[in-house]
Amino acid sequence: MASAPAQQPTLTVEQTRVVLSEVIQAFSVPDNAARMEEARESACNDMGKMLQLVLPVATQIQQEVIKAYGFNNEGEGVLKFARLVKMYETQDPEIAAMSAKLKSLLLPPLSTPPIGGAIPAS
């Protein structure tokens, strides 16, 4: 039998803006920026390695901020915060813009295929 789920923090749109802004700022703190850069360099733009190396560092950085707002200090807290942000993205353009900025900090730029998208035959 599962234990009762922990109370999920409830944030208003305004509070979510503040927390999201703090999360984004946390990625510019020199120690965090260096940790992310090191993880990105180790991943060499390989999506599988990004998930193994960059995502855990990014999750830790986010956890450090959101735990002050009642989210648990495990990966589940980051997921709950992400769901909350996703819910508010459609209601608030500022949250949508900050969410896009956060995603750009986490994900490598995707290379676009050549126009026509044709894959040369071997």
User: What CA–CA distances, in Å, run from 24 to 29, 40, 103?
Assistant: 10, 17, 10
Please provide the average confidence, as pLDDT, over all residues in the chain: 84
Express each pLDDT in 1-47 by its tens digit: 444 444 556 899 999 999 999 999 999 999 999 999 999 899 887 88
The Cα–Cα gap between 119 and 22 comes to 43
Summarize the confidence of residues 66-86 as an average pLDDT.
Answer: 90
Single pTM value for the model:
0.79
